[in-house]
Amino acid sequence: MTATSTRKWIVAPTVSLCLAFWMSLAAQAQGPIHRLSAQFKNFDVTETTTPSAVPGINAYTKTVLVPSTDNTLYITISAVGDTHKGNAGWFSCNLDGDPTLVPIGAYCNPGSGGHAGAPAGWLSLEKHFNYDFVTYNGGITGGDGGGGNGDMHDNSIQYQWCVSVVPGSMHTVQIRLASSLTGGGAGLNNNVFFEAAHFYVDSSSTRGGCSKF
């Protein structure tokens, strides 16, 4: 056997081993996204609305079975909405219930974000300045729907949470809606709204699950 042919026999298994190792790492790092649920609501001239503070109302809920290959869930809301009297529309994503209401419940992400003052586990996904109380000082106050000049129709709401789960487990995902009540106290037209909404629940395998960057 010549030196050249010997090198060929050595190189071939080495390349195969490297390729197998690379494919193993790729398989650990990511997997296909599986759509577990796709639903819509409020496409019938209705709205989901509340004037209530946290924990607000249950705006969406869905129980899903996570595939045995997946360790990460993605929960998405895509809708249009508005708010009254300068209130912020606060949203939370929960896994198996709101942790303040259900002992086994957990926020999809318990952190805080933005400057609208939403508590931990909640996000402000819609807010409009109620300018009539500052700029116009008693001027036109109706807005687009009688909710003050901060009542501006209609605005896009698009958000997605991720949360780590055990492969093959069953979970109930929930999205809650609450008002910031910055427009005054309860009963003073502090409503926040959304309509024409789509909700998606997806899963995939990710290395380390849903983790902090």
The CA distance from 25 to 8, in Å, is 26
Q: What is the pLDDT of residue 108?
A: 96
85 close to 92: Cβ distance less than 8 angstroms: no
Which of 176, 159, 200, 179 has the alpha carbon at shortest distance from 59?
Answer: 176
| Run of H or E including 8 | helix 3-29
Output the pLDDT for position 148. Answer: 56
Q: Kindly state the tokens that stand for 3.
A: 């030196």
Ordered DSSP codes for 116-174: S-PPTT-EEEEE---GGGTTTSSS---TTTTS-TT----EEEEEEEEEE--TT-EEEEE
Q: Identify which of 129, 128, 130, 52 has the alpha carbon closest to the alpha carbon of residue 92.
A: 52
- Sheet strands (E) in 3-104: 34-41, 48-50, 57-65, 72-83, 88-95
Distance CA 142, CA 158 (A): 27
Q: What is the pTM of this model?
A: 0.78
pLDDT at residue 139 in the model? 58
CA 184 to chain centre: 27
Residue 163: predicted pLDDT: 97
At residue 51, the 3 state secondary structure works out as: coil
pLDDT tens-digit readout, 67-114: 999 999 999 999 998 887 778 899 999 999 999 999 989 999 999 877
Q: Residue 26: which H helix or E strand, with range?
A: helix 3-29
- Looking at residue 50, its pLDDT comes to 92
- List average pLDDT for each run of 10 residues in the chain, which is 213 residues long: 47 48 47 96 95 94 97 97 84 94 93 82 83 57 57 82 97 95 66 94 95 90
Residues 6+ apart with CB under 8 A from 110: 120, 121
Q: Which residues, at least 6 apart from 207, have a Cβ–Cβ distance to it below 8 Å? A: 28, 29, 30
